[in-house]
Chain A
Amino acid sequence: MNALQTHQALLAASDRRAVAKTTRRHVHLSPRPLVLVGYHLAGDPGAPLALMWGTSRDQEPRCMVVPEPRNRGLRFEALDEFAAEFLTYLSEFEDRDESGNCLDAPQLVVPNAATADWLGGIVGRFTRNLRTDGDAPAPPAVPLAGKHLSFFADLMPGSSLVLAATDVLTTHWQTGQLPSEDLNLAALLGWIDPPTGMDSPQAAREGEAAPPAGPDSDPHWDANSLAELIQEWHTAADAVSQSRVRRELEGEIRDQLSPAWTDCWRALDRLGLLPAAEHVAIRWQKDKSEWTNHCDRVAEGRAFFRNIPTPLQAATRLKILEDCTENLQREMAWDDPLVMATAVASGEALAGRVVTAEPERRTRNANGRAVRRPLITIEPALEFTRPAGTTLFLSTNPGVMLAVLSSDPGSNLIRAEVLKGANQSNTVGLLPNSGDEVVLSPYGKPEFYKRSKVEDIPWTHQQIIEDNPEEESQ
């Protein structure tokens, strides 16, 4: 753990209040998100028990319940109800500009990553290929909604198409509890946004006492309420008494899921108070084009998803994942001095004041030619011990690349010469002047002509031994 993060955690615990890890908001917030919470039957993720959703905190959320989650017919009947409204919500984002790109993209907000994984990885995965003809057909909206959910399942770091509230909040705040306790949205919000007159650890305890945010329900509630209601539903003699049990169940479910639903909105409100970081809009642009692609694929009937990726797909995905992760980290650091500070604390980045700047400095390169290599001398604010030759980038202009030179013995000043980005007469103005406070970070602009596709299966993904050859051939 980084010294800065450690200090923040200690501070959070001693102040009894979450500490901000960022000064900006690093996710996009949609003006019209779809907040979605739900439960599945314990031990059976394929049997949704209830979903609750809505696009406005002021309106009563919609609620779907399956009175007998193990009954396939009832399951699809209920999912159809959700699917219809889900598709209506998504259709609001199909308007396009003249170049064919969607004007905006939808945003799903769920309480935690487990809910996102369940909705995409299980509900989406097992409904997207359902047959709508033959015996016991599924309602057509269900597989279509499944395809959309599958799209939302497979997102990269930096995407804001799906926000898992706990993940987003822990990116922005540090609590004074165990990292695994942060997975509980109510407890996490207790740390970040305690009710007036209550200190955070106390508010977190109160949060813990609330019904779970899903997708797993409270086992005590299962045993004490749900089991009984399902039993009642089975014994209900006619449609009238069945619908009575159903209403009762819905009431119970609403009591269980409402806290999580409200907490999702609270999380969004809290995030909304932070100013958006600069790169958020750029990343959302990428999200919008992903959404446009997905819409095209759906419209053309090409929205297929592989259950098990081929080795090449897996390798490509891994590469993209690595690039996106790196990109996000870099962009967050550029946008946010407090994020950059973690790199300064770890010693990777250099923060300090420019003592002298020599924009006209020339040296001879290996070929003996004179080249312009401006030099800046920095008085570090914190000791900087990386060796000579370390390349760093100006945090305000990541295109400017500098190399640390060996410093004079006995002096704590760091000398860095410009390698590129500010050694032409038209770019040298990007260089800081003496007296400026600067940060030189390890985060440079990504290389321009980076190959984005993996062409050959790398050795890490070769030799996939199928342990069940019969199934493969089916």
Chain B
Amino acid sequence: MTNTSDPLENFRGSFPRQPLNARRVAGALEAPGCQRRTVLDAAAVNLDKLGSLISGTPTDRQSPFALTRGNQFEQQVVANGMAEIVALARRHLALEIPEVRQHDLSASALSEAYPGVAGIKMNELRARLTRQRASEMLSDPSHAYNLIRHAMTRLDFGGEIVYLEQDVLAFAVDGRIHVVEIKSYPRIDGRADPVKASATVRQTAVYALSLQQLMVEIGARPDVVNTTTMIVLPENLSFRPTAVTIEIDMYVRRLRRQLASVPQATEIIQALSAGIRLPDHPAKGAGSDELTTAATAAREALAPLPPRFTDGCVSCPLFHHCRDEAEFHRSTSRLGSAVASACGNVTDIAAAIDLAEGRRAPADASEAAVAAALARGAAAARLAVGGVA
């Protein structure tokens, strides 16, 4: 791995940092080709704080009720030595787990054994232990731990190393490693919210892919990681856990391809003029002048980073800012991917309208095609409203 953190560290300056997690990696890939997001992710900028600063309205909150419920469920599932998980894994993954030897690799569990280790050092330690445990699993399956909680794996994202904390890794006697993910949205009558479910699948694919890379690192075959993963959800409105197994191989392969095409963040930032840098985040209770100055500075720092505005952007903390920009530039992408792709290389709304009305001559063959299609749409509407039908 190359050490590329310097230009990105410079870009972030002392703006609050937020290490990447699987959710954020998956989220970044929902907005493919967005260089702005890539740089911000690679620099581990706290996007929520940045979004709130720029838009002037706080957006970085999650309801305390949702958090409580999620934690309650997770605690219930892993209580009693993960008995529930073991039972579900036996049933749904058809795993023979004759004897459970579990191990917790969470930061809180390790801090007792390794006092004084924290931050990035702790992540490295956890990743190293995960790697060690995984290779033990494969070399000495009858004695190694076979259920690992909060394992930590690493993933290369645009040249940056991301540490991912997994819910549970289960190892079976058949020599394969399974990923188990715990979520707290309900599965009602066998169906979970499709939007949340697909987000979970993408997130789980990030874990599975990082594990596959780990397998390659320790000299095992990547297919040791079983892509049939188990997702544990509350059944109906209760706290009783139920599980679904999903084959995520397709998502993992897609993710691998997407990750390979993530532009190198340092290349993006080095291509820009030196010295762009996020402002310091104003302290709590800062005056409005200070906030405005910081927001302006943040906007200026983002301006040279090209965004790619699409339908998936709504969930991004910078949505409002990028939307304003798209609107300012009268970009067709403001109207969503469908319109933008229908307009091809005509990216300006006014230009597209002018082409449709014949006020502007198409510059090339592709503009001519867009003009013809739009003119046809406009003519059909005129005919209809003109009383023909």
Contacts and interface: CB of A to CB of B under 8 A. Distances in A.
Interface of A: 1-11, 13-14, 23, 41-46, 121-122, 125-126, 176-181, 201, 209, 217, 219-220, 222-223, 226-227, 307-308, 337-338, 340-342, 344-345, 351, 381-383, 395-396, 437, 439, 467-468
A43 B188 contact: no
Interface of B: 57-58, 61-70, 91-92, 184-186, 188-190, 236-237, 242, 244-245, 311, 313-314, 327, 330, 332, 334-336, 338-339, 341-343, 349-350, 352-353, 356, 373-374, 376-381, 383-385, 387-389
A217 B65 CA distance: 11
B92 A177 contact: no
A381 B353 contact: no
Given A3-B342, A179-B311, A222-B64, A351 B189 contact: no
A180 B342 contact: no
A340 B373 CA distance: 17
Contact of A6 (B61, B70, B236, B343): B343
Contacts of B342: 1, 3, 6
A437 B388 contact: yes
A395 B384 CA distance: 12
B52 to A, nearest CB: 11
Nearest to B373: A3
A396 B389 CA distance: 7
A198 B343 CA distance: 29
Interface centre among B69, B184, B189, B376 (most CB of A within 10 A): B376
A250 B186 CA distance: 28
Given A6-B338, A222-B65, A344 B384 contact: yes
A330 to B, nearest CB: 14
Interface centre among B67, B237, B313, B381 (most CB of A within 10 A): B381
A7 B356 contact: yes
Contacts of A383: 376
A343 B141 CA distance: 64
A217 B63 CA distance: 9
Given A42-B63, A178-B313, 18 more contacts: A4-B381, A6-B339, A10-B374, A13-B330, A14-B350, A14-B353, A42-B69, A43-B185, A44-B65, A44-B237, A121-B188, A176-B334, A178-B314, A181-B314, A222-B65, A337-B384, A341-B384, A381-B383
B61 A382 contact: no
A341 B380 contact: yes
A12 to B, nearest CB: 8
B327 A201 contact: yes
Given A180-B311, A308-B189, A468-B242, A7 B350 contact: no
B343 A223 contact: no
B187 to A, nearest CB: 10
Interface centre among A8, A10, A219, A222 (most CB of B within 10 A): A10
Contact of B381 (A126, A181, A341): A341
B352 A227 contact: no
A44 B189 CA distance: 16
Contact of B349 (A13, A121, A341): A13
Contacts of A396: 389
A5 to B, nearest CB: 7
Given A10-B349, A42-B65, A338 B237 contact: no
Chain B interface mostly: helix
A351 B387 CA distance: 12
B314 A180 contact: yes
Nearest to A222: B63
Contacts of A180: 311, 314, 336
27 contacts: A1-B338, A1-B341, A3-B377, A4-B378, A9-B336, A10-B332, A11-B353, A23-B385, A42-B69, A43-B69, A44-B66, A44-B69, A45-B186, A45-B237, A122-B237, A125-B188, A125-B189, A180-B314, A219-B66, A220-B58, A223-B64, A227-B64, A345-B377, A345-B381, A351-B388, A381-B379, A382-B376
A177 B334 contact: yes
Contacts of B352: 10
A13 B334 contact: yes
A353 to B, nearest CB: 9
Contacts of A345: 376-377, 379-381
Nearest to B309: A178
B63 A308 contact: no
Interface centre among B190, B242, B383 (most CB of A within 10 A): B383
Nearest to B352: A10
A468 B387 CA distance: 59
Contact of A340 (B349, B384, B387): B384
Contact of B380 (A4, A178, A226): A4
A409 B221 CA distance: 65
B377 A439 contact: no
Nearest to B73: A43
A88 B311 CA distance: 43
Contact of A337 (B62, B68, B353, B389): B389
A13 B347 CA distance: 13
Q: Which 3 A-B residue pairings sit nearest by Cβ, starting from the closest? A: A43-B66, A337-B389, A46-B237
B314 A10 contact: no
B59 to A, nearest CB: 9
Contacts of A42: 63, 65-66, 69
A207 to B, nearest CB: 14
A201 B326 CA distance: 13
Contacts of A209: 57
Contacts of A226: 65
B320 to A, nearest CB: 9
Contacts of B378: 4, 7
Contacts of A176: 334-335
A338 B336 contact: no
Nearest to B63: A42
Contacts of A308: 189-190
Contact of B237 (A126, A177, A178, A217): A126
A7 B384 contact: no
A330 B334 CA distance: 31
Nearest to A23: B385
Nearest to B379: A382
Contacts of A468: 91, 242
Interface centre among B70, B92, B236, B384 (most CB of A within 10 A): B384
B61 A220 contact: yes
A439 B380 CA distance: 11
Nearest to A12: B335
A383 to B, nearest CB: 8
A326 B380 CA distance: 22
B58 to A, nearest CB: 6
Contacts of B184: 43
A5 B70 CA distance: 42
A341 B383 contact: yes
Contacts of B185: 43
A122 B188 contact: yes
A219 B188 contact: no
A328 to B, nearest CB: 18
Nearest to B238: A46
Contacts of A344: 380, 383-384
A342 B385 CA distance: 12
A382 B184 CA distance: 54
A10 B335 contact: yes
A345 B377 CA distance: 5
Given A3-B342, A381-B388, A439-B388, A177 B335 contact: yes
Nearest to B58: A220
A5 B377 contact: yes
A4 B379 CA distance: 9
Interface centre among B64, B245, B335, B342 (most CB of A within 10 A): B335
Nearest to B336: A178
